[in-house]
Amino acid sequence: MATTPTREVARRVFAGEFNDAHYTFKESDDERAPVYLLLPTGERANRVFIVGTLMETEDVGDDSEYWQGQVIDPNGDRYYMYAGQYQPDAASMLRELEPPAYISVVGKPRTYETDDGDVNVSVRPESITEVDAATRDRWVVETAERTLERIQHYQAETDEDGDGATVDEYVAMAQEEYDLPVENYRRQVVEALESLEAEEGVAAEAGDA
């Protein structure tokens, strides 16, 4: 009997970590098998959920419309997304939205090789919606929590207390492919949360005045 394939979870990842990722892989040889982006904190991502500020939109297509959107996270890092004729709803959102605007994006990570041989990562949006500041703030806290969970898992797996064998295959893969200090991502979490508190502080002072 045909079983419904399990839907892929949309990972929460700040732009700093997302843009450090470049390694993609499949779990099987099947042509339709999902493609995963390996995150440097040792998790696979077939889908991401992002809420941030849309800073710029531009039609970068030659023959047909191909929209680029740039979304900034609290640390000032940017996600790049591209939507063309095969993502008509997302493309029309990018055409119509006027930056700056808070948007939420559900999408798939895509990698592409630049002319000088670097691999860049971007998002191919499945849907884009305009949202409010409260939704964005909730996403920042949630993304901080999910990132911390990955970091703690990574640290537990790579803890040096003897044989040093890493059990989790994605953590092992991340060590192999990136070997970047996860401390960087912990710092991004702290900064993102501090920026929320700073915003709150400003709002509170404005309220007192």
Partner 1 sequence: MTDLRTQATEIHEQFSDQLDISVDDVEERLDTLVNEYKVPLSEARRSVTNTYLDEAGMERDELGGGAGSGNEQVEIADVDAPEEWIDVTAKVTELWDATSDAVAQVGLLGDETGTIKFTKWSKSDLPDLEEGKVYHLRNVVTDEYEGRYSVKLNRTTVIEERDEDIEVGSDDVTVEGALVDIQSGSGLIKRCPEEDCTRVLQNGRCNEHGEVEGEFDLRIKGVLDDGNEVHEILFNKEATEDLTGITLEEAQEMAMDALDTSVVADEMRADLLGKYYRITGPTFRRYVLVDDVEQLSDPTDAEAVLIKARSI
Point out which residues bind partner 1 (CB under 8 A). Answer: 4, 7-12, 47, 49, 51, 89, 103-106, 126-129, 131-132, 134-135, 137-146, 148-149, 151-152, 155, 186, 189-190, 193-194, 196-197, 200
Smallest gap, in angstroms, from Cβ of residue 115 to partner 1? 34
Nearest CB to partner 1, comparing residues 44 and 146: 146
Q: How far is the CB of 141 from partner 1 (least distance, A)?
A: 4
- Whether residue 72 contacts residue 78, with contact meaning beta carbons closer than 8 Å, is answered with yes
3-state secondary structure of 33: coil
Q: Which residue lies nearer to partner 1 by CB, 91 or 105?
A: 105
Q: Please name the amino acid found at residue 10.
A: A
> Does residue 149 contact residue 43 with C-beta atoms inside 8 Å?
no
- Considering beta carbons, is residue 122 or 143 the nearer one to partner 1? 143
Helix (H, G, I), strand (E, B) or coil at 4: coil
Q: How far is the CB of 117 from partner 1 (least distance, A)?
A: 33
Q: Which is nearer to partner 1, 61 or 186 (CB)?
A: 186
Q: How far is the CB of 189 from partner 1 (least distance, A)?
A: 5
- By beta-carbon proximity to partner 1, the closer residue of 134 and 209 is 134
Residue with tokens 């191919």: 124
| DSSP characters over 90-156 | HHHHHHH--SSEEEEEEEEEEEEE-TTS-EEEEEEEEEEEE--HHHHHHHHHHHHHHHHHHHHHHHH
Kindly state the smallest distance separating residue 46's Cβ from partner 1, in Å: 12
* Helices 133-158 and 183-208, axial angle in degrees (round to 10): 150
